[in-house]
Amino acid sequence: MKGMADSTFDIVSKVDRMELDNAVNQAQKEIAQRYDFKGVGASVDFSGEGLLLKASSEERVKAVLDVLESKLIKRGISLRSLDAGEPFASGKEYRIEAGIKQGIGQEDAKKIGKIIRDEAPKTVKSQIQGDELRVSSKSRDDLQATIALLKGKDLDVALQFVNFR
């Protein structure tokens, strides 16, 4: 089987914007309708970059976060993609600021590369390309095994495996 081109796939960490918007809209609807959120100034605002959760108490703003998290999960968005801070007081309300993690940071990329080097089949090579990784091997089975290996790891970043060819 000489001259066979390597098979490859890319490891990315991306959040589907439509699904994110849907999750936020559903969270806003539920917060508007629920009796326990009446009169506590509960809200979720999404600016395109970050999320701002507000309520009149620390307990209520944490409940707002719970609602948002449940909607994200329903929409297939990993909670590893949500970077939520701790509640803090701002005037008469409590707030939680949250970001959406897009792309694989250098530290995480190095960690993933090390796992592939140390634990994946020897034919498998990985290369960091910006905020994603390209993984290649002559053996498609070895690539499948590498995907299974990484899915079994508890990493701080939500991974998707794309462009398998």
Q: Is 40 helix (H, G, I), strand (E, B) or coil?
A: coil
DSSP secondary structure of 75-95 = TT--GGGEEE---EEETTEEE
How many whole angstroms separate alpha carbon 22 and alpha carbon 35? Answer: 22
- The pLDDT tens digits of the residues spanning 58-115 come to 999 999 999 999 999 999 999 999 999 999 999 999 999 999 999 999 999 999 999 9
Complete domains list, the chain, with CATH: 7-14+104-162 (3.30.70.860), 17-100 (3.30.70.990)
The closest of 81, 112, 114, 87 to 99, measured between CA atoms, is 81
Residue 118's Cβ-count burial label (10 Å; 0-12, 13-18, 19+) is: exposed
Q: Tell me the torsion sign for CA atoms 51, 28, 34, 68.
A: negative
Q: Is the pLDDT of residue 130 over 60?
A: yes
Q: Is 34 helix (H, G, I), strand (E, B) or coil?
A: coil
How many whole angstroms separate alpha carbon 106 and alpha carbon 115? Answer: 14
pTM, entire model: 0.85
